[in-house]
Structures are given as structure tokens and as C-alpha cells.
Amino acid sequence: MSLKAFRYDALMYFCNRVVANFPAARLRHFFYRSVMRIDIAPGAWLLSGIWFDTRGNCTIGKNSVINQDCRLDNRGGIFIRENVSISPGVHLITADHDIDSPSCAGRQAPITIEKLVFIGSRATILPGVTIREGAVVAACACVTKDVEPYTVVGGVPAREIRKRNRNLDYETYYRRHFL
């Protein structure tokens, strides 16, 4: 293993095992912005235990909240717009393997989450998915394809349950300084 690869692995270990569990959110945010190159807009809030798979490739919009113990596999790119609420234990997965490829080749595709989206606990969003404005992903759902605006989806794989009210006018504002 090269020294460069060793240093990178050490950085990722420090980020995900040490920094992710700092008791002060502002210290985590400073590290994520300055060292990990995560674009965190004003008012966005990342709680403890978040796991990143690489540096950069992640934008978190104004007033968006990412709760505890989420996995942000940002290798393929994650784009979270404003006023998004991501509940605890959510996995955003941007990379997988082509099981039909003779070499089981790796592949990546970005995830985009538009404004005013709510994602329930332990949901999984797979590579290449866009969750459109105002949509809701129910807890424990596995989203394998795009979700239309103001649509509530749930299940494995996620399917439409119903439509959501379009008269939304809120900001997510969530401050927990020691989580």
C-alpha cells in the first residue's frame, strides 16, 4: 500500500470513527467543510454518527437536516437541496456492482434530493435516484427509481402510496448542539 493510500484511509477512519462522534456539531461541521470538502449551506445541520465514503461530491442545502447514524456514500455524488429532513439511519448509496458484468464491475450514479423532501428512518436510496420536490419516503423503504413531486412512497421496492399536500411552506430548523 502506498503512503498516499494509507494517509487517505487514515483520514476516512478519523472522519467516520472519531469526528462523526464529536459531541459538538460545530466542530464536526468545521471538519466536514474544511477537510472533507463537503458543501454545507448555512442553516444545514448534520448530527452525530454520519458516515462518508469519500471527500467532496456532496452538497447539503440551506436548512436541511441529516439525523444520526446516516450513511452518505458520496462516491457518485449526493445533492441535497434546501429544507430536506433525513431521519436517523438512512442510507444514500451512490455506488454498486453490475452483477451481470463478467467482472462484477463497479458503477456509480448520483442521488439528488430536491427541496422539502422528508425521508423516514432506515430508508435506503439507491444509485441514480432523484427524489423530487415535496416527496416523502416512508421509513424502511428501498427506493430504486425516481420519486415524483409530492408523492409518498413506501415498501421494498418503494411504490407510490398516495399524494402529499402541495401547499407546503416550512423550513426545517433543527439544532442539537451535542448530537
**29, 91, 97, 177: which is the annotated catalytic residue?**
97
> How far is the C-alpha of 132 from the C-alpha of 125, rounded, in Å?
13
- Are the C-beta atoms of residues 76 and 56 closer than 8 Å to each other? no
Distance of CA 109 to the CA centre of its chain: 14
What share of residues in the chain are helix, strand, coil (percent, to 5)? 15, 30, 55
Cβ neighbours of residue 163 closer than 8 Å, sequence gap 6 or more = 150, 151, 152
* Known active-site residue 91: no
> How far is the C-alpha of 149 from the C-alpha of 152, rounded, in Å?
9
> How far is the C-alpha of 68 from the C-alpha of 122, rounded, in Å?
11
Distances (CA, A) of 164 to 31, 60, 152: 37, 23, 6
Among all residues, which ones are annotated catalytic? 97
